[in-house]
Amino acid sequence: AQRVTQPEKLLSVFKGAPVELKCNYSYSGSPELFWYVQYSRQRLQLLLRHISRESIKGFTADLNKGETSFHLKKPFAQEEDSAMYYCALHGGATNKLIFGTGTLLAVQP
Amino acid sequence: KAGVTQTPRYLIKTRGQQVTLSCSPISGHRSVSWYQQTPGQGLQFLFEYFSETQRNKGNFPGRFSGRQFSNSRSEMNVSTLELGDSALYLCASSYGTSGTIMSSYNEQFFGPGTRLTVL
């Protein structure tokens, strides 16, 4: 079965601290993994995708097929990073995304 | 380019009624997907339409249906509303074509959502 698991509902850190948002997936094939972000009162938007292997707003994520994980990391959290983060999986020919339940990141001053 | 628009933004209905939600995609996009967002279940895929045809369907009862028009605008209908249908309904649009050599995924752009409350 295709599934995305985000074990933490809430992650609270202080400004300047490192951040790691966990994501594990289950998929019998070669999935594409994404991180989406939803800032307060804004639309859900794509943050990054594993095939791009790029850093967006200081965030990076590496696909680990052995551990079936795609954790999102940032070395130094900023208050403006506070948002809801969703890990998502795409597999197959259509555009269907399977989302995790999301992690609320709260960065304290 | 104008973003994805959804109407209405808020809706209050009572159990047993039906409701129709509308989504206008970004100009040039031919794929529209619908998702249900609730605090308990998160974001769940409802269905995707491409060129007026349903291309994929999630695990929702038949009370949830949709359609897409020739201008790519899409509507979603929920009949015989239940309390549990209270949610934020998001639509997302994309070009919907086969993507690139590296990826079959077409980036989806999300609308602001329609907040449905069932009393």
pLDDT at B9 (0 to 100):
97
Lowest pLDDT segment from A43-52, A79-88, B10-19, B71-80? A43-52
* CA angle centred on A89, ends A85 and A95, rounded to 5°: 110
Confidence of residue A25 (pLDDT cuts 50, 70, 90): very high
Contact by Cβ (8 Å): B80, B63: yes
Interface size, chain A vs chain B, as Cβ–Cβ contacts under 8 Å: 62
A97 to chain B: which residues are within 8 Å by CB? 33, 35, 43, 45, 108
* CA angle centred on B94, ends B91 and B100, rounded to 5°: 145
Residue A95 and residue B58: Cβ atoms within 8 Å?
no
pLDDT at A71 (0 to 100):
96
pLDDT at A1 (0 to 100):
77
Residue B35, pLDDT > 90, answer yes
Confidence of residue A30 (pLDDT cuts 50, 70, 90): confident
pLDDT 10s digits, A39-64? 999 999 999 988 777 888 999 998 89
Contact by Cβ (8 Å): A39, A106: no
* Among A32, A44, A98, beta carbon nearest to B103: A32
pLDDT at A91 (0 to 100):
72
Residue B101, pLDDT > 80, answer no
User: Whole-angstrom Cα distance, residue A80 to residue A85?
Assistant: 13
| Cα distances (Å, whole numbers) of residue B11 to A20, B25, B32, B43, B119 | 37, 20, 21, 19, 11
Q: Look-up: residue for tokens 């970004």?
A: B26
**Is cis: bond before B8, omega within 30 of 0?**
yes
Residue B46, pLDDT > 90, answer yes
